[in-house]
Amino acid sequence: MLSFLLGLLRAIVEMLGYCLIGQAILFLLAGKGRGGNPIYQLLSLITRPPRNLCSRILPKASPSWLVGLLSFLILVVLWLFLSWMRKFH
């Protein structure tokens, strides 16, 4: 049961990481018009919780790309930790 829960959490973290990568790619490709892009809006909605957490950690004047990068790095560390936990349980 614990292995299943760890796998489930790991899959959720992995999905959030992929959404952040997709959002970063659209950030680069769409430029200023990204606000009207429905796919970018969907990815922004999905990745809002980790980005809000990181925006509370960083100073208020931090650029959005830095918030996204820190969110991605935290998700990678969390994914590796869950992978390690699943291996030993």
Instruction: Give residue-wise pLDDT tens across range 75-89.
Output: 999 999 999 998 887
Is residue 23 within 8 Å of residue 44, measured between CB atoms?
yes
The reply to whether the predicted model has a pTM over 0.85 is yes
Q: ∠ CA 78-8-43 to the nearest 5 degrees?
A: 70
Is residue 48 within 8 Å of residue 24, measured between CB atoms?
no
Q: What is the residue-level pLDDT of the chain in tens, covering all 89 positions? A: 888 999 999 999 999 999 999 999 999 998 888 888 899 999 999 999 999 999 999 998 889 889 999 999 999 999 999 999 988 87
